[in-house]
Amino acid sequence: MSESKTESLLYANHLTAYPGYSASFAELTEVLVSRGGIYLPEMIEFGEKDGYKQIPFDPENIDRLSRKWSDQPNSPGWTLVRNKPVQVIVKFSRYLLDFESFSIHVQSDHFRTPKDIDEFVSINKECYSILRTAYGFIRLPEMVKTYRSSLGNVRLGIDLKRAIPDVYWATFLGPEYVEMFGRNKLLSVPCNKVEELHDGGVLLVLTPSPLDYVKDAEGFDRLRQRVKEHLGIEAFDNGDRAMTRRIPKFRYVDETRSSTTHIPSEEWKGDYLSQVDRDEWRVWLQNNRTLAIAFAQESSVEPSKLDFSPESLGTLDNYIQKLREAGVKPTVDFVMKVAAYVSQILINEKHANWSFAESETIPSLSLGEIHFSPLSRAEKAIFEGERFDLWFRFLVDELIPKVKTSNSGLKSQQYFH
């Protein structure tokens, strides 16, 4: 949803692979309702499946809403909203990837007293326990750093299977990170507060208030750099996607994704498309939009530039070209997400439909008698340097009009890869 105000927000986000996430709606919502005040939602906005409909939030309906959430496993997410006296946005996101996301955003000028700050931290500790969070944080948006790399100025996304994005004002590290770093090292981190959590995880709080960053950004950045050096800088993302970082063995990931649709993040080798069976492709089709949204949000391209418009294909082309120049080896996960993103543009702009006849090896999109493959095109763009924007313009401006006028009476299918 679009945020109706422009006030700065304090963001809390939890990433989890816990299989019980989809059944946690009621428990998480009750944490907010039990606090009351600004944390009691006014409205709930449903996801794409319900046309992003908004209705007043009624605490008496939590059980019914929970059942509805559980019955929509392919919904990208729901949003709980409060606008007065301060803005509060709670997002239940579901991307069907390795890590799902739950977040709470609160207008930052609410946090004027230690009591307000402690309450927000306490709420997020409760959510951490429910979600079995692997990595979480509380931050202001300006705390997200931009790095210079072989790709130019890069604003880091979040990919825990590559590295920890950063240390923020508050950082939740699940038991897997405690095992990786060592408990003694974590408990001796040089910061304002280190707290052991009930499941063996650790919470790091850098300074007394998240607004300390506004007062002294340079001092705050020096402190978090000392924290990262203390833990080992090799575990943190530095913007270089070609560099291997230190990561833990994550809880739940294998067991969660063995029963879902996730495409493993292994290096793309050979003609992968022809090796995927039809059941796997059906699952990819089912989750196409959620994969596309995840790519737009997780990539190092600014989210506002990957807005599912035809113009964004030029941005995507430039991004892929920089990856090629930097020698970054694409993963299966990356290729599939790129193809999903391009697919959604064609579906949104031209109302294309998926086609997967018994004779086809991989699914394609169709417009009348024209069939075209975003998957094959993604391979050519990523590995051969061909451009999506030129392909899209040729498809829309030349091929489709030509076929409509010259072959209007013909039934023969035309494939365009």
pLDDT digits (tens, 9 = 90+) for 5-49: 445 899 999 999 998 888 899 999 999 999 999 999 999 999 767
Within a domain: residue 349?
A: yes
Q: What is the mean pLDDT of the chain?
A: 83
Residue 313's pLDDT band, with cuts at 50, 70 and 90, is: very high
Residue 192 amino acid letter: N
Within a domain: residue 294?
A: yes
The secondary structure of 81-143 as a DSSP string is: EE-SSS-EEEEEE--SSSSEEEEEEEEGGG--SHHHHHHHHHHHHHHHHHHT-SEEEEE-GGG
Burial class (CB in 10 A: 0-12, 13-18, 19+), 241: buried
Within a domain: residue 3?
A: no
Domain range for 189? 9-235
Q: Are residues 139 and 201 in the same domain?
A: yes
Within a domain: residue 4?
A: no
Q: Are residues 290 and 347 in the same domain?
A: yes
Task: State how far the Cα of 281 lies from the Cα of 279, in Å rounded to an integer.
Answer: 5
Domain count, the chain: 2
Q: Are residues 390 and 274 in the same domain?
A: yes
Give the domain CATH number at 348: 1.20.120
Q: Looking at the predicted structure, is the pLDDT value of residue 101 above 60? A: yes
Q: Are residues 197 and 343 in the same domain?
A: no
Q: What is the pLDDT of residue 190?
A: 96
Backbone angles phi, psi at 384, to 5 degrees: -120, -5
Within a domain: residue 105?
A: yes
SS3 letters across 111-124: CCCHHHHHHHHHHH
Within a domain: residue 241?
A: no
Cβ–Cβ < 8 Å for 12, 129: no
Q: Are residues 210 and 312 in the same domain?
A: no
Within a domain: residue 161?
A: yes
Q: Looking at the predicted structure, is the pLDDT value of residue 258 above 60? A: no
Domain boundary at 217, 235, 253, which? 235
Q: Are residues 176 and 293 in the same domain?
A: no
Within a domain: residue 249?
A: no
Calculate the CA 46 to chain-centre distance: 18
Q: Please tell me which of 151-155, 272-276, 356-360, 378-382 the model is most confident about, judged by mean pLDDT.
A: 378-382
Q: Are residues 164 and 85 in the same domain?
A: yes
Q: Are residues 201 and 276 in the same domain?
A: no
Q: What letter does residue 258 receive in the DSSP assignment? A: T
Q: pTM for the full model? A: 0.68
User: What are the distances in angstroms from CA 170 to CA 120, 122, 203, 386?
Assistant: 11, 12, 7, 43
CB atoms within 10 A of CB 97: 25
Q: Are residues 223 and 270 in the same domain?
A: no
Q: Are residues 267 and 231 in the same domain?
A: no
Q: Are residues 279 and 193 in the same domain?
A: no
Q: What is the pLDDT of residue 223?
A: 97
Q: What is the pLDDT of residues 56-81, one digit of tens each?
A: 999 999 999 999 998 876 667 899 99
Q: Are residues 154 and 29 in the same domain?
A: yes
Q: Looking at the predicted structure, is the pLDDT value of residue 171 above 60? A: yes
